[in-house]
Amino acid sequence: FGLQRVLFIPAAQPPHKPSVALAPAADRLAMLRLAVAGDARFEVSDLELKRGGVSYTVDTLRLLRTQRPEAALSFIIGGDSLRELHTWKDIYTILELAELVTVARPGFRTDDLNESTLRLRDPWPQRLAAQVASGHLVEISSTDIRQRVERGRSIRYLVSGPVEQYIADHALYRQQEMTRSTRWS
């Protein structure tokens, strides 16, 4: 898609995942910085964390448009989010502010992307279908990574070495087990 840079922005509070127990913001920001370190095409921003509250994409894109008026903005989403776009706050404003690029995920289909399945009016279904990046698909999810850590399973090769070490060093995603001992007399 000819992107010159990719800006990674961790959400303060994702609006569609209010029940997800997130790692502390400072830890998520630190892991993101570790994950992209050494690649000049990648940049990390804490603008949603600084703003706090629910992180709405439309607010972030408006701010980026103000900060970088010359930039042609693209917004990258996973294929699993494409069919939920109609539920996003001010989706038509989002679609005007940035070109959406969808990264296909295992099981993602493009043959049924239309007004009915996306629940968006024309011309958006056709435009969104044309902006799907495909290629070698790797089935990795943040939910799976958190669950693997919680269960004491390896996350090697699912995250970078420095991120894996950070998670271990900071005991992230480990369930605090409380045990009670009961005495019978």
End-to-end CA distance of the chain: 71
pLDDT, tens digit, for every residue of 38-86?
Answer: 999 999 999 999 999 999 999 999 999 999 999 999 999 988 899 999 9
Q: Are 86 and 118 in contact (CB under 8 A)?
A: yes
Q: Are 29 and 49 in contact (CB under 8 A)?
A: yes
* Its pTM surpasses 0.95: no
Q: Which two tokens stand for residue 63?
A: 């701010």
* Amino acid letter, residue 103: V
pLDDT, tens digit, for every residue of 137-174?
Answer: 778 888 899 999 999 999 999 999 999 999 999 999 98
- How many Cα neighbours within 13 Å face the side chain of 102? 24
pLDDT at 18: 67
Q: Specify the range with the lowest mean pLDDT, choosing from 55-59, 102-106, 108-112, 180-184.
A: 180-184
Closest CA to 64 of 155, 55, 159: 55
Using a 10 angstrom Cβ sphere, with 0-12 exposed, 13-18 middle and 19 or more buried, the burial of residue 60 is buried
What is the rounded (10 degree) CA torsion for 22, 24, 26, 29? -10
